[in-house]
Amino acid sequence: MLEVSQHVASFEERLSAAQSSPNPAEGVEALRVEFLGKKSQLKAAMKELGKLAPEDRKARAKELNEAQALIQDKLEAAKADAGKAETAARLERERVDVFLPGRITRRGMIHPVHAVEKRSLDVLRRLGFVLGDGPEVETPFYNFDALNIPEHHPARDMQDTFWVDGGNLLRSHTTTIQARTLQRGGDLPIKVASAGRVYRNEAVDATHLAMFHQLEGFWLDKGITFAHLKGVLSYVARNMYGDDAKFRFKPKFYPYTEPSIGLDIACTNCKGAMELNGKPCPACHGQGWVTIMGAGMIHPKLLREFGFDQPGVRGIAFGWGTTRMTAQWLGLDRVKSLYEHDHRFFTALNGRGAA
C-alpha cells in the first residue's frame, strides 16, 4: 500500500531539484505527469479504495485527496515561478540599451536634382536668404498678371501653359512665390529663395521636359543697385562652379525685371573651344558658352502692384534651372534620364553625386 506521507515528501524533494535545474518548466511538467498522471501511484491507490473495508475507505480517500490537492497546488505554484523566471531570462537576453547609437543601414541615395537644390539653397542662406514656398497649381494673377506678363504674351497660350479646371494653371516658373511674398508685405529687407517643380506645355525631347525644377531668389530693400545683383550672382556662381570657372554677363529680357541680364559659364564640355572632334560641341551648340542664370532688377510695375514703390526701394531677382545645372555637372546629354526612375542609371551615378 502507498505510504502517502513518504510519497509527498519524495515529491517535494524532487520538486526542489527540478526548480534548481537549468530548465525548471520542463522538470515541473515531468513531475506533473509522474505524480498526477493516469499512471501515477496516487491514481493507482485511488483505484484500490473499493477493496478496503467501509470503515477504512473514507479516511484513506481523504488522505489521498489531500495529498493530490497538495501536489497540485505546489505544481501550479512551481509552474508559475518557472514561467516568471523564463520571462525574466528572455528579457535579459533580449535587452536593448536604448541609449546606444542606432545602427542605420543606408538605403538608396539622394536624388541628384535634390542634391543640387540643397547645395544652392545652402549658398543663398549664407547671404541671408530664407526659404519660401508656394503652390504648384496657381492662378493667372500670380503666374502672369502680377509679374507684368499681359494677356497677349505668348507664354499665356496653350502651347506654353498647362491649364486646369477652374481657370487655374500649373505654374510655369517659381517667380510666383515672389509675387505671393510681396503681396503679404512685411518689413524690409525681404530676402527669399524658393525651389520646386515647374511645368511647360512643350515637346519633350532629350533636353526639354514638360516638368522640371527651378530655383529663384529675390532681395528687396532700400539702396539696392545693379552692383548688388552682379555681386550676388558672382558669389553664387563661384560657390557652385568653383573659382576657376569663367563667367560673363550679357543683356537679356524678362517681363518681370528691368534691366535684365544672363550669366553664362564657359562650356565645361569643350572648355570654350566650341568644337569637339571637329564638330560643334553638343553641350553649348558650338557657342562656347552656356547660360546658367537669368536675373535683373525687379520691374517697377511689380513694386507698384504690391505697394513697394517707395523712394529708394529697389530689388533684384535671379533664378536658374536646377535640372539643367544637375545635367551639366553630371555631363548628361539626356536630361530625361534624371526623371525616368531607372535603377541602373542611379546606380551608375552612385559616388558621382552632383553635390
Per-residue pLDDT of the chain (355 residues; tens, 9 = 90+): 788 888 888 888 888 888 888 888 888 888 888 888 888 888 888 888 888 888 888 888 888 888 889 988 988 998 888 888 888 888 888 888 778 787 777 677 788 899 999 999 999 999 999 999 999 999 999 999 999 988 888 877 766 889 998 889 999 999 999 999 999 988 999 999 999 999 988 777 766 788 999 999 999 999 999 999 999 999 999 998 888 888 999 999 998 999 999 999 887 766 666 776 677 776 677 788 888 899 999 999 999 999 999 999 999 999 999 998 888 888 777 788 888 877 777 776 665 544 4
Q: Which three cell numbers stand for residue 138?
A: 496657381
Tracing cell 534624371 back to the chain, one arrives at 338
pLDDT of residue 354: 47
The residue among 251, 254, 261 whose CA lies nearest residue 229 is 261
pLDDT of residue 142: 93
Q: Which helix (H) or strand (E) holds 291?
A: strand 289-298
pLDDT of residue 109: 76
Provide the residue type at 220 as one letter: L
| Count of beta carbons in the 10 Å neighbourhood of residue 150 | 9
Judge contact between 134 and 177, C-beta under 8 A: yes
Judge contact between 247 and 234, C-beta under 8 A: yes
pLDDT of residue 300: 93
Judge contact between 258 and 299, C-beta under 8 A: yes
First-residue to last-residue Cα distance in the chain: 91
Judge contact between 350 and 223, C-beta under 8 A: no
User: What sign results for the dihedral spanned by CA atoms 46, 52, 54, 59?
Assistant: negative
pLDDT of residue 353: 47
φ and ψ at residue 317, rounded to 5 degrees: -140, 145
Buried residues in 165-195 as b, exposed as e (16+ CB within 10 A): eeebbbbbbbbbbbbbbbeeeeeeebbbbbb
The pTM of this model reads 0.66
